[in-house]
Amino acid sequence: MALAATLLHNAYFCGRCCRHKALQPLLGPLLSDSLSKSYSSYRRPGSQPEKKTTWQNVDLSFKKSIEVLKTQLGMLKKETEDHLAGPEGQSLTHYMLEQTRVVWEFRSQEDLNKWVISSDVEIGGKSEVYLKLGRNNQTALLYGTLNTEVPRDGETKYSGYCSMRAKPLVGSFARKKYYDWSNFNSLYLRVRGDGRPWMVNIYTDPYFSHQKDDLYNYFMFTRGGPYWEEIKIPFSKFFLSSRGRVQDDQHPIWLDKISTVGFTIGDKVNGPFQLEIDFIGLLNDRAHTEEFAYETYEKNPPL
Amino acid sequence: MLSLTLGTMITITSNHWVTAWAGLEINTLAVIPLISKSHHPRAIEAATKYFLTQATASALMLFSSMTNAWSSGQWDITQLTNPPSCLLLTAAIAIKLGLTPFHFWFPEVLQGSSLTTALLLSTAMKFPPTTILLLTSHSLNPTLLSTMAIMSIALGGWMGLNQTQTRKILAFSSISHLGWMTIIITYNPKLTLLTFYLYSLMTTSIFLSMNSTNTLKLSTLMTSWTKAPMLNTTLMLTLLSLAGLPPLTGFLPKWLIIQELTKQEMTTTATTISMLSLLGLFFYLRLTYCSTITLPPNSSNKMKQWSIKKPVNTLTPTL
C-alpha cells in the first residue's frame, strides 16, 4: 500500500518534470497543478499534517552509515552466539527448567521507551494518556483521562479509549523477532490499578497482511486498593478478535510467535484513570489444566 | 488422500513433461485442504505459503520443459538437453523439495500443519520431485546440485540448533537429509533412492510416535516419559538413527554416500558434509539427552496427552 503510494508519487513527479505544452491538453486530467494524491486528502482531526515528505528525511552521510553498519553487525554477532547457546539465548537445561520469566519490567527510561501509548486522539477524540516512571523508578505509571465525547466527523459512533502497547522486537538489519512463550501457560502481571477494567491484548504478528488485525484479548479487573495485585491470566482464556469484533471461529493462542502485548482501557466512563505496573511476566502454572476456555462447535455438523 | 496417490502415480510413471507437471499440480492441490483443515490462522498461512511456492516451482518446471521442447523438439523427460532448461529445472525442483536457498517456506509450513499432514509433506510430497530429479540426473549440472546440497546440510544443521517446536526440528532434519540425497544424485542415483526410503521410514516412525503423544514442543517431548516409557526409548533410538550414528540404520546411507563421493575424487566434499552433519548430530544428541537420559523433574498437565491414540510402530526404528 505504501509502496503503491510511493510509486504513484514518483510517477507524478516525473510527470511534472517532463511535461510538454503539446501534451498538456491531452494529459490534462491525469496531471494537475495541485498536489493530488492517490489516497484521500481528508485528514482526521487528531493526526498531524505532513510537514516533511518521507524522502526529505533521508540522511546520506557516510560516517553515520558506517556506525549503523557496525551496530547491526554487532547485533548479528550477538544473535549468532545466542543461537549457539540454545533456545532464546539460554541453555537447553535452563529452558527445560524455567517456570517463570519476567519479560518487561520498568526500572528506567529505556524500559519505558519499549512501549508506545496511544489514545483516541488519533481519530479526533479528547482522551489524554501519559506514561511515566513511578516512585523510586520501580514501576511504570500509565495515567490520563478518558473522554467519551465522539469526534464530529459523521462516521464515528463511539470514542474514548487509551492504550499502551509494547514495541515489537527488532533484530539485526531491522528483521522482525518474536517471543517464544511455548514453555508457559499464563501471563503474570503485578499491577496496582484504580478499580477500572482493562483489556489485555496479545498480537501474534502474522506473515500475510490478511490477518494483521487479529488480536487475542482478555480482561483484567483491577481492585483499586493501595495493595499490589498479582493477576494471573492463563493463555487458554484469550479469545480471538479481529478489528475489535469477536470472531466466531475461536482457537487457543499459539505461543511460539508472539509479537506484542498491550493494555487498553475503554469502559465508557468519563474520568481519570491510573495503572501502575511493576512487571509483566510469564508463569508455567502446573495446576492449570484447561486447554481452551471456550467450547468450539462444528459449524456444519454431519447429519 | 486418493488424489495424492493419484498425483504421485501420474508423476512417477510419466515420460512426458506435461503429465509430470499435471501429477505435481494434483499433489499440490490435494494437500492444500489437508494443511488448512484446522482453520487456524497459522495453518492458513502455511497453506498459502505452500501453494505460492509450489505453484511457482511448477510454473518454472513447465517453462523449462517448454524451452527444452522448443530447442530440441521433443518432450521426453529423460532427454533434457538444453542447458538453461536444466538450470531452470534444478531450481524448480529445489523449490519443490525445499533445498537451500529455497528452503524458507518449509519450516513454517510444517509448523502450521498438523503432525500427520506434516508427515505427508515431508515424505510423500518429496517423492515425485525426487523421481523427476532421478530421471533427469544425467543432464543436470553437478556443481549446482552439490552446492545446494552442501548448503542444505549446513543450514539444516545450523537452524535446527535451538528450535523448540518439534515440527520445525523435523523440517530442518528433512532439509538436511535432502541435501544428502541430492549430493549423490548425479553419481549414483540408486543411493538417493535408498536414502529417501530409509529417511521416509525413520521420519514416519518419529512423526507417528509424536502424534500418539501429541508432542508439539520440546517441553512436551521431555515429559512424555511418564505416559509411554517404551515409546520414549524407541523415539530416542529413532532420533539417533536420523542423526546417523553407526550401529543404527540411519548410518547406512551416509556411509555409502561418503564412499561413493570418495570414489568420485570428491573427498573434500565428503569431509565437508560429514563435518556439517555433526551440527545436526549435536542437536539430536542434546534432544535425546535431555528427554530420555536425564528424566525431567515434572510432568505435563495437558489432558490430551494422557489418552494414547494408538500404540505405534515402536519396532521399526530399531530396524
Which residues of chain A have a CB within 8 Å of the CB of B219? 96, 182-183
Domains of chain A: 62-97 (no CATH), 99-283 (2.60.120.430)
Q: Is the pTM of this model over 0.80?
A: yes
Least CA distance to B294: which residue of chain A? A93
State whether B74 and B154 are in the same domain. no
* A251/B contact by beta carbon, under 8 A: yes
State whether B109 and B148 are in the same domain. no
Task: Quickly state the pLDDT bin for A261 (edges 50, 70, 90).
Answer: very high
- The predicted pLDDT at position B51 comes to 93
Task: Quickly state the pLDDT bin for B301 (edges 50, 70, 90).
Answer: low
> Is 90 exceeded by the pLDDT of residue A74?
yes
State whether B103 and B188 are in the same domain. no
Task: Quickly state the pLDDT bin for B219 (edges 50, 70, 90).
Answer: confident
State whether B101 and B192 are in the same domain. no
State whether B158 and B92 are in the same domain. no
DSSP chain A: -HHHHHHHHHHHHHHHHT--TTTHHHHTTTS-SS---SS-----TTSPP--S-GGGG----HHHHHHHHHHHHHHHHHHHHHHHH-GGGS-HHHHHH--EEEEEE-SSHHHHTTEEEEEGGGGT---EEEEEE-GGGSSEEEEEEE--PPPSSSS------EEEEEPPPB-GGG-B--B--TT--EEEEEEE--S-EEEEEEE---SSGGGTTEEEEEEEE---SSS-EEEEEEGGG-EEEETTEEPSS--PPPTTSB-EEEEEE--S--EEEEEEEEEEEEE--TT---S-SS----SS---
Residue B135 counted as domain residue: no
State whether B60 and B204 are in the same domain. no
Residue B121 counted as domain residue: no
> Is 60 exceeded by the pLDDT of residue A1?
no
Residue in B39, B303, B304 nearest the CB of A249:
B39
* Interface residues on B facing A, Cβ-Cβ cutoff 8 A: 38-42, 44-45, 48-49, 108, 111, 158, 161-165, 217-219, 222, 286, 290, 296-298, 301-304
The DSSP H or E segment spanning B77 is: none
- Give yes or no for a contact between A273 and A194, defined as CB atoms under 8 angstroms apart: yes
Task: Quickly state the pLDDT bin for A260 (edges 50, 70, 90).
Answer: very high
Interface test with A, best of B104, B113, B158, B164 (most A CBs within 10 A): B164
State whether B155 and B78 are in the same domain. no
State whether B181 and B32 are in the same domain. no
Between A85 and B96, name the one with better pLDDT: B96
pLDDT digits 0-9 by tens, A84-129: 887 877 888 788 888 899 999 999 999 999 999 999 888 888 999 9
Residue B131 counted as domain residue: no
Residue B124 counted as domain residue: no
> Is 80 exceeded by the pLDDT of residue A23?
no
Q: Which ipTM value was assigned to this complex? A: 0.81
pLDDT digits 0-9 by tens, B230-255: 777 777 777 777 777 777 778 888 88
State whether B156 and B109 are in the same domain. no
- The predicted pLDDT at position A37 comes to 56
Residue B127 counted as domain residue: no
Interface test with B, best of A76, A84, A96 (most B CBs within 10 A): A96
State whether B195 and B261 are in the same domain. yes
Residue in B108, B162, B298 nearest the CB of A87:
B162
pLDDT digits 0-9 by tens, A175-233: 999 999 988 989 999 999 889 999 999 999 888 888 888 899 999 999 988 899 999 99
Residue B160 counted as domain residue: yes
Q: Under an 8 A CB cutoff, do B303 and A251 touch?
A: no
> Is 80 exceeded by the pLDDT of residue B114?
yes
- The predicted pLDDT at position A41 comes to 67
Structural domains in chain B (count): 2
Least CA distance to A88: which residue of chain B? B162
Interface test with B, best of A176, A177, A256, A257 (most B CBs within 10 A): A256
Residue B174 counted as domain residue: yes
Residue in A86, A208, A291 nearest the CB of B162:
A86
Task: Quickly state the pLDDT bin for B300 (edges 50, 70, 90).
Answer: low
- The predicted pLDDT at position A16 comes to 43
Angle at A85 between CA B211 and CA A173, to 5 degrees: 100
Residue in B41, B217, B298 nearest the CB of A214:
B41
- The predicted pLDDT at position A154 comes to 83
Residue B175 counted as domain residue: yes
State whether B47 and B146 are in the same domain. no
Calculate the average pLDDT of chain B: 83
State whether B151 and B106 are in the same domain. no
Q: Which residues pair with A140 in a beta bridge?
A: A133, A277
Task: Quickly state the pLDDT bin for B298 (edges 50, 70, 90).
Answer: low
Per the structure, the complete domain to which residue B4 belongs is given by: 1-114
